[in-house]
Amino acid sequence: MTKLDRLIEEVWRSPVFGDSYRCAARYGAFAEKMQGVHSCFIERFRPIVRGALPDLDPAQVERILRQTGPKTTAFCSAIAVEIDDIERLAAVSVVFGLLFLCDSLMDDGDLATVAAVHRFLEAHAPDMTIRAANDAERSASLVLGCELDAARAPSPDPAIVEARLRALTPMADLLPRLTSPDDARVLIGSPVAGFLSHGSAMRQLSQRYLESEADAFWEAHADDLAAHAIGSIQTAGTVAVVYSLYRGARPELPTIEQVLSSPAVARLCERLVDAAARIFDDVGDQDADRDPGARGRFDLNIFNHPDRRLVASYMRFVGVEDEDVIARTLADFQLDSRAGDARIVGRFVDIVRDGMARLPAECWRDAGVFLMLCKRIIESGYVNTLGDAALAE
């Protein structure tokens, strides 16, 4: 069994809920389907990546495909286990593959991708806003524009920007074919615009931290960092993309907009689940983030920067106002130990479990499929506590 196979089994056996995979799919049949999805994904994704990255040699492109393909197709196949349509699973995998590709390029300082994403948002989501500190709204497109304006590098080659932009077009083309036009507009907002613009805000805050005195930075930006770090997870949109596969098979299911119009469902995804998933991701990444030289970039990580104002912002984001709970959580962060990390992860597991348990019965009646997928994505996020080294194939 490969490392990828073992990780999928980790997702299916995750202890967060324990009942997210009632279907108990036979692994042999699932693995065969996943291989079909992967082959179809590579056939579609390779020409997109080649066209997007004319500045890379073919060997580098193939390495990107090896890094992106297995995890992306396994993620989609393992979440949507009831879906047998190879073509549609591959199409959803392409959407996530493009998001991951853009995010990794921008994290590595590729200004051509930043410029391309900025133009994509101006064209396809000009009115899209993202939540910053204290629920203030920021223009998603403007966030990318600020990153370009602050860049200390020559302007990117216009031809390379055009190539990157052409790679983004399949997302705008694929989403309406996967679901209804109304749902497609929602998906352009979340996860596409939300994920990429929150990521841009995070990069800008990480750079500002390096250039600031720490106490002044946290006083001014702790709430913003919490909002953007948590907001970058985009659970609602991620679930919604996979949910489009189920709506394709069962058109009677409520639209994505109808599901997310429920304040209880929206709060669960955008507050509780996003915050827990950010914790799961950061606890696994903390060692890599401690050594920015290894990746050539610096990323703020709450486990490495447990300022009391940041920890309090995280806890209040999920509705925890009890000062004793906040103080205990801060103490666990500051321990910088496996025991402290385990208690923090356990606390956020309890938060999402409690959030699910408190959902009104009508949410399960009207949005049961969406919530089932949400639980599965939480299980996959929990596996991130293993860290990037364990997740790499």
Higher pLDDT, 324 or 184: 324
Helix, strand, or coil (residue 73) = helix
Percent of the chain's residues with pLDDT above 70:
94
pLDDT in tens, 301-354: 999 999 999 999 999 999 999 999 999 999 999 999 999 999 999 999 999 999
Q: Give the distance, in angstroms, between the CA of residue 51 and the centroid of all CA atoms in the same chain.
A: 24
pLDDT score at 389: 44
> Is the model's pLDDT at 355 over the cut of 60?
yes
> Is the model's pLDDT at 161 over the cut of 70?
yes
Q: What angle do CA 190, 137, 201 make, to 5 degrees?
A: 70
Rounded average pLDDT over 127-140:
94
* Cα–Cα distance measured from residue 115 to residue 168, given in angstroms and rounded to the nearest whole number: 12
pTM over 0.95? The answer is no
Of 257, 264, 117, whose CA–CA distance to 194 is shortest?
A: 117
Give one DSSP letter per residue of 74-118, joined into a string.
Answer: HHHHHHSTT---HHHHHHHHHHHHHHHHHHHHHHTT-HHHHHHHH
Give the chain's end-to-end CA distance (angstroms, integer): 12
> Is the model's pLDDT at 270 over the cut of 50?
yes
pLDDT score at 288: 87
pLDDT score at 228: 98
pLDDT score at 391: 45
Average pLDDT of the chain to the nearest whole number: 91
Q: Which residue has the tokens 């950061």?
A: 282
Domain boundaries, the chain: 3-391
* Cα–Cα distance measured from residue 280 to residue 348, given in angstroms and rounded to the nearest whole number: 9
Q: What fold does the segment set 3-391 form as a domain? A: Farnesyl Diphosphate Synthase (1.10.600)
Q: Of the ranges 135-139, 228-232, 245-249, 383-387, which one carries the lowest mean pLDDT score?
A: 383-387
Q: Residue 5, by phi and psi: left (phi above 0), alpha (psi -120 to 50) or beta? A: alpha
> Is the model's pLDDT at 47 over the cut of 80?
yes
